[in-house]
Structure 1
Amino acid sequence: MSRLKQADKVDSLAGFRTTKPEPTVPLGLLKAARKSGQLNLSGRRLTEVPQNVYRLNMDTPEEAQDVSFGGSDRWWEQTDLTKLLLSSNLLTQLSDDVRLLSGLTTLDLHDNQLSSLPSTLGELKGLQQLRLSHNQLSSLPRELFTLKNLCSLSLQQNLLEDLPEELGQLENLTELDLSNNRLKELPSSLSCLTNLQKVSLHHNKLTSLPEGVSHLRIKVLDCSSNQLFDIPASLSGMLSLEQLYLRHNKLSRLPQLHAPALKELYVGNNLIELLDTEQLASFTSISHLELRDNKIRTLPEQIPVLPELTRLDLTNNDIKDPEKADESQTAMTLPSMARVNVHNIKTLRTLEYSDKHADSIPDELFDAASDQGITTINFSKNQLKATPPRLMELQASVSDLNLGFNKLTDCSDICKLLQLTHIDLRNNQLSDLPSEMKNLTKLRSIILSYNRLKSFPEVLYEVLSLETVLLGNNQVCVVDPGRLMKLACLTTLDLSNNDLLNIPPELGLCTSLRCLSLEGNPFRTPRAAIVSKGTDAVLEYLRSRIPA
């Protein structure tokens, strides 16, 4: 009878069924992870996290079957898993068993297909870095906001429309990236995050900012590409704010800011029509003021002297040249002086002689600029084969030099302009840069696109002040990430359309980069799908490829 009962339980089709194999991790990786505390499973096309990953420090490893005590590897001396990298896979969900990885400090899940997260994520009390960018999250479990040790939270490129007030419980958070979501407002509890230093909110649908953020110690705030009509005056209370990005909004006036540490303000692509003299005068520490692509028609008669200002960008506004009656009678009596914009020289401290197709710069231009404290020079779109000799007469004050679209093969002379912060040398015939350029200790940006450079210029590795390097459309085939890492201020690097056959994984360690362009090179990895997702995705992918 018992045999008949057993027969009832027999599955007659068992031999014909195919079962989906459970994903596993090679034993070698698990063994290494137990020793190092780090496990990198990025880019393996996983649709779920293998169960033996969750139980890494719970199950007895196979090597325990070897009872020999003479080996150098002692399985019982394993390390808790602290870093788990699962980026660039095909994960649609995360198991509740993630709670078993109680030692995690870093969890990287960016570039997957996650639409939800388990509440047990809140049990990882030691978690410090959580990367969830480039997924399909429309909501977050409230338990996530109990992670009091969390320092960095990346949620960019998801489907979030709102955030709970519990966000304010993440008291140790220093970096918060909510860019490229669908946020229409921010919770008032944001003002409780007193340790925040860097906040990215760009590409959302925000119409206002919480008043309480004025009490925070944020250094970098990016609110570009939103729907902001105004900025609360309380932002003046942000005593630590150094960089404020407000591009592509609906601002009709310059923000009323008196933030004492503010060095860079970007308000391009708005609807600003007027510049207030008093407001400009309040920017006592500003070095970079971007007002391009607005509706500004006139400039104040007396633009205040901003002692730290090195770059003022008014490109693509509606500013008209002042009436010629304002120019001196002497200037009008000399035919050659009709080419000299006296208003630019005296008011904007700008020397302009561009798009003239000239092979030299007229002496009367330098004569008019004498003793005027010129800071900006634009000699672009000419036929210059050498640096104008009289340029050296302005070396005490010039900080912004544009020699783009000429025929320069050498630029040694500009290395004597020690006040330079910005150099534009695009579309010339340069094959190298002079070693003397290392003397430009204030240089912040250099544009070298469309030249004949075959490698990242050696001297630039020594210019530690650099923030922006544009090398697109050259023949660069090699870059040294080890030396590049020493450029701690570098935020923008354009290497697009060059001859790079491979991208060193160590480039991902250049964490100061906010914009990295690699399109149009012949390398095969990272693949185009990752490159198209932007800088954060590329850097995280590269870091995931560094051998443990």
Structure 2
Amino acid sequence: MAAARRARAGGGGGGSGPRFGRAAEPEPAVPQGLLRLARRSGQLNLAGRGLTHVPEHVWRINLDTPEEAQQNLSFGAADRWWEQTDLTKLILASNKLQSLSEDVQLLPALTVLDDVSNNQLTAIPSSFALLVNVVRLSLAGNQLRELPADLSAMRNSHCWADEFLSSPLSVYHWTLISTGLRQLDCTKNYLETVPPKLASMASLEQLYLRKNKLRSLPEFPSCKLLKELHAGENQIEMLNAENLKQLSSLCVLELRDNKIKAVPEEITLLQKLERLDLANNDISRLPYTLGNLPQLKFLALEGNPLRTIRRDLLQKGTQELLKYLRSKIQDEAPGPNEEPPVTAMTLPSQSKVNIHAITTLKLLEYSDKQAAEIPEAVFDAVGSNPVATVNFSKNHVLAEMGIPGTFLSFKFGSCCLSLCANRNNLLTALPEEMEALKRLHTINLAFNRFKVFPSVLYQLPALETILLSNNQVGSIDPVQLKGLDKLGTLDLQNNDLLQVPPELGNCESLRSLLLEGNPFRTPRAAVLAKGTAAVLEYLRSRIPS
């Protein structure tokens, strides 16, 4: 079959000379021994050979009859050219390539074009989109001014591997699975914009745009899974508040060495943010509410003309910075025995609720009040304002009277995206009225007293993250969980699960399944340590046939 395919492609003769109508030009030498080895191994390394273009016979390595065969040399069994392995890996790094031929499509079995970094490429041939098997592509350190949107059409449902996700990314590198790009690295080119089609890829988790010529961040209308955004060393002057609102899953935001002058309040909507690097910009002040980001562990601000933060404070580390920012919020807030001034924009029921957070950040916060119930006045304060995030953490809320379901469903049914009621609360159940929260994508119920998985959660189709660690949950329903086809993170650590149902392995949307700290015997700790994909595979193997 392989021989017939090559014959149909015109590979019966030498075919390595110039095509009809193309001017003959000297081709850089590629040792025949290297080509012979590539035919056996499927890998060809041409890095650092001073190539100004890729010789045509490299593109046609699996089509043309080798030079040795034309010279009627005898072949051993291991060297029979008609049994050669199709080229799957091609390395072209550190040459002088100014362009790549459309002939790259003659290598349909290519899975890794790693890498073409540190050349002089100004464009990428559209035929790259035809390489449906490619799982890795590196193009860093070139002279690209734009990216073709049709690259997003590259798909591969068989070649994705976890090791790519854990490997360091220093080049334009992506890993492809059946749903599209997970990682995209465009470092060190001349990009001024990013194609909207690429910035809208729903599966994208890591995006590297460092060392380009961007003046603003792209919009991310569909990147709900984006966890890391690296855009340092560009020319970004402004952070668009609307763009930030779209990054609800972001854990890392790196924007150092730009020209940013202000940080909008909306940055505090990034409730999962762990690292924020704003070093060496033109920022003169920060929103004090930045100190309330619950997951923030690293904040870099050096090299900015900050007016309210002393230099010695910057040197004390992130936790001291966050503590200082929180103290400034308290300085501006009314004392415990005084009410804020009543104005035409203030209602008595709003006196202990941060109205500014509701109107500008779409955040209703009533946390750390040591309250046994959430007063109705808190909900009344919302008025007609849409609220995306509700935070009732660090109280002593009881299930019987703590979270009034009627208010949740009535006030937030069409808009609430995130609900946090963790830490120090005493919840054992959730109100059934919560099933009206059809857009809720994140719920944090850790450190409560749930003994069973809250059944109402099975009725929330938009859920992407369920955090139920440090409770007393004894069982879960894998069939109903599978119905939550957007669920990516399920944290059940430190509960009372005596067994993990094998059918949980069918929940293929799960990317992070955390089960440590439960009393079940299987899966064993060694399986859990291998990560979510291994655990799901193990569970599937135990489903009765």
Q: TM-score, normalised to structure 2's length?
A: 0.52
Q: Is the 8 A contact 2:357 2:363 kept in 1?
A: no
Contact residue 428 and residue 449 of structure 2 kept, 8 A: yes
1:307 aligns with none
Structure 1, gaps ≥5 residues long: 1-95, 97-118, 125-141, 304-310, 347-360
1:408 aligns with 2:397: yes
Q: Residue 416 of structure 2 is aligned with which of 409, 417, 420?
A: 420
Partner Cα separation in structure 1 for residue 219 and residue 354 of structure 2:
44
Aligned residue among 237, 255, 276 for 1:294: 276
1:402 shift after superposition:
1.8
TM-superposed CA distance for 1:462, in Å, is 0.5
Match of 1:54 in 2: none
Q: Determine if contact 1:243/1:262 at 8 Å carries over to the other structure.
A: no
Aligned equivalent of 1:222, options 205, 212, 216: 205
Q: Which moved more, 1:485-494 or 1:273-282?
A: 273-282
The structure 2 residue matched to 1:448, chosen from 445, 457, 472, is 445
- Quote the Cα distance in structure 2 between the aligned partners of 1:524 and 1:234: 54
Q: Shift in Å at residue 201 of structure 1? A: 3.8
> For 1:173 and 1:199, how far apart are their aligned partners in 2?
10
Relative to structure 1, is the Cα distance of residues 436 and 233 closer, same or farther in structure 2, using a 3 angstrom cutoff?
same
SS of the residue corresponding to residue 510 of structure 2 reads coil
Q: Give the residue type in structure 1 aligned to 2:411.
A: L
Q: Which SS does the other structure have where 1:441 is aligned? A: coil
- C-alpha distance in 1, partners of 2:389/2:326? 23
Higher relative contact order (CA 8 A, sep 6+): 1
Matching residue within 139, 142, 145 for 2:110:
145
The one-letter amino acid paired with 1:401 is: V
1:200 maps to which of 179, 182, 190: 182
Residue in 1 aligned with 2:307?
Answer: none
Which of the numbers 326, 351, 361 marks the counterpart of 1:364? 351
CA distance in 1, matches of 2:219, 2:253: 24
- SS of the equivalent of 1:264 reads coil
> CA–CA distance in 2 between the matches of 1:321 and 1:276?
20
Q: 8 Å contact 1:484–1:510 — kept in the other structure? A: yes
Q: Per-residue CA shift, 1:424-454, capped at 9, x if unaligned?
A: 1112111111111111222121111111111
For residues 9-408 of structure 1, what are the structure 2 equivalents within 5 Å?
145=110, 171-173=154-156, 176-177=160-161, 178-182=164-168, 184-186=170-172, 197-201=179-183, 214=195, 216=198, 218-223=201-206, 229-230=210-211, 233=214, 242-243=223-224, 245=226, 247=228, 251=232, 263-264=246-247, 266=250, 268=252, 270=254, 272=256, 276=260, 292-294=274-276, 315=296, 317=299, 318=321, 336-337=337-338, 364-366=351-353, 372=359, 375-395=362-382, 396-397=384-385, 398-408=387-397
Any conservation in 1 of the 2:135–2:156 contact (CA below 8 Å)? no
Deviations for 1:465-484, whole angstroms, at most 9, x for unmatched residues? 21111011111111111111
Give the C-alpha shift of residue 460 in structure 1. 0.6
Aligned-residue offset at 1:377: 3.0
Find the counterpart in structure 1 of residue 436 from structure 2.
Answer: 439
Q: 1:467·1:489 contact (CA, 8 Å) conserved in 2?
A: yes
Post-superposition CA distance 1:507-547 (Å, at most 9, x none): 12212212111111122222211211221221222223334
Q: Does the 8 Å contact 1:197/1:218 carry over to 2?
A: no
Offset at residue 389 of structure 1 (A)? 2.1
* CA distance in 1: counterparts of 2:474 and 2:84, whole angstroms: 47
From the superposition, tell whether residues 542 and 209 of structure 1 become closer, same or farther in structure 2 (CA, over 3 Å): farther
Distance 1:452 1:278, change over 3 A: closer
Q: Structure 2: 5+ residue runs without aligned partners?
A: 1-40, 42-82, 89-106, 113-128, 141-150, 300-320
Q: Is the 8 A contact 2:239 2:260 kept in 1?
A: no
**Residue number in structure 1 paired with 2:455:** 458
Query: Compared with structure 1, are the counterparts of its residues 489 and 538 closer, same or farther at alpha carbon in structure 2 (3 Å cutoff)?
Result: same
Call closer, same or farther: CA 1:387–1:491 in 2, change over 3 Å.
Answer: same
1:520 pairs with 2:517: yes
Aligned to 1:100: none
User: Matched residues in 2 for 1:185 and 1:370: separation?
Assistant: 40
How much does 1:369 deviate? 6.0
1:321/1:170 Cα in 2 relative to 1: closer, same or farther (>3 Å)?
A: closer
What CA distance in whole angstroms lies between the structure 2 residues aligned with 1:209 and 1:538? 39
Q: In the superposition, relative to structure 1, how do residues 444 and 268 fare at CA in structure 2: closer, same or farther (>3 Å)?
A: same
Q: Could you tell me which residue of structure 2 aligns to residue 507 of structure 1?
A: 504
Which residue number in structure 1 is paired with residue 100 of structure 2?
Answer: none
**Cα deviation code 1:327-356 (max 9, x no counterpart):** 99xx88x88458x799xxx9xxxxxxxxxx
1:510 is matched by which residue type in structure 2?
C
Contact map agreement 2:216 2:235 (CA 8 A) in 1: no
CA-based RMSD: 5.7
Q: Is the 2:220–2:247 Cα contact (8 Å) retained in structure 1?
A: no
Q: Deviations over 1:192-243 (max 9, x none)?
A: x8x97433349xx99658969846573322227x8x7446649978987524
Report % sequence identity: 28
Bigger drift between 172-181 and 143-152 goes to 143-152
User: Relative to structure 1, is the Cα distance of residues 499 and 144 closer, same or farther in structure 2, using a 3 angstrom cutoff?
Assistant: farther
Match of 1:68 in 2: none
State the one-letter code of the partner of 1:219: A
- Does structure 1 residue 478 correspond to structure 2 residue 475? yes
Given the superposition, is the C-alpha separation of residues 200 and 453 from structure 1 closer, same or farther in structure 2, using an over 3 Å criterion? Answer: same
Secondary structure in 2 matching 1:221: coil
**Count of residue correspondences:** 371
Deviation at 1:184, TM superposition (A): 3.9
Partner Cα separation in structure 2 for residue 488 and residue 154 of structure 1: 25
Structure 2 vs 1, CA of residues 392 and 272 (structure 1 numbering), >3 Å: closer, same or farther? Answer: same
- Secondary structure in 2 aligned to 1:242? coil
Aligned residues of 2:210 and 2:232 also touching (Cα < 8 A): yes
Q: Relative to structure 1, is the Cα distance of residues 497 and 335 closer, same or farther in structure 2, using a 3 angstrom cutoff?
A: closer
**SS of the residue aligned with 2:204?**
strand
